Amino acid sequence: MRFATFFIGEYAHMIAVGAVGSTLFLGGWQGPWLPPMLWMVIKVFLFIFAYIWIRSTLPRFRYDQLMNFGWKVLFPLAVLNTLVTGLIVVW
């Protein structure tokens, strides 16, 4: 029963993210031909489809791999970006 509750919660989260994402990025309930509620449902299902598709096709990294990538790649890039932006602003 705990696993089923966790699973239902995960899918409820996907629906909520799909609704918020379709409202913010896809124009919400507005559409040319169909009733507004149907447009919203179609856009939410498209968002959920893309969410599940991307989540299932991209690899999942272990925590230590993510930490190494963050500290060894992303952090130096962020520092370099800050320095370049500061030089451009000063110049």
Question: Would you write out the chain's pLDDT as a tens digit for each of its 91 residues?
Answer: 888 999 999 999 999 999 999 999 988 888 888 898 999 999 999 999 999 999 889 888 899 999 999 999 999 999 999 999 999 999 8
Please check whether residue 19 is in contact with residue 30, taking contact to mean a CB–CB distance below 8 angstroms: no
Q: Quick check: pTM over 0.75?
A: no
The DSSP code for 73 is: I
Distance CA 48, CA 61 (A): 22
Give one DSSP letter per residue of 24-62, joined into a string.
Answer: HHS-TT--SSS-HHHHHHHHHHHHHHHHHHHHHHS----
